[in-house]
Amino acid sequence: MHPGIATSASAAAEATERRRTVCRGLPRRERREGGRGSSGSQTGNAPCQIDFRMSGEDMSFWIAAFLLIPLADQAIKALLRQRLGDRVVSLGPMGSVRVIDAPVWWARGGFRPTPVMLWIAWLAGAGALVALATRLPGCEWCAALLLGGSLSHMIETSRRGRVCDYLCLRFWPAFNLADAAISIGTVGFIVRVISALVNPLH
What is the count of structural domains for the chain?
A: 2
- Residue 29 C-beta-side C-alpha neighbours within 13 Å: 2
In a domain, 52, yes or no: no
Length of the chain: 202
Alpha helix (H) residue ranges in 25-139: 28-36, 60-83, 105-108, 115-135
Does residue 129 carry a pLDDT above 80? yes
- Per-residue confidence band for 14, with pLDDT thresholds at 50, 70 and 90: low
Q: Are 189 and 93 members of one domain?
A: yes
Q: What is the pLDDT of residues 145-173, one digit of tens each?
A: 999 999 999 999 888 878 889 989 988 88
How many whole angstroms separate alpha carbon 171 and alpha carbon 149?
A: 22
Domain region containing 9: 3-45
Q: Are 66 and 33 members of one domain?
A: no
**Strands, E, within the chain: which ranges?**
89-90, 95-103, 162-169
Percentage of the chain with pLDDT > 70?
65
How many whole angstroms separate alpha carbon 191 and alpha carbon 160?
A: 34
- Residue 105 C-beta-side C-alpha neighbours within 13 Å: 1
Q: What is the pLDDT of residue 136?
A: 80
In a domain, 53, yes or no: no
Q: Are 71 and 146 members of one domain?
A: yes
How many whole angstroms separate alpha carbon 114 and alpha carbon 131?
A: 26
Q: Are 71 and 149 members of one domain?
A: yes
Q: What is the pLDDT of residues 88-106, one digit of tens each?
A: 888 888 999 989 887 766 6
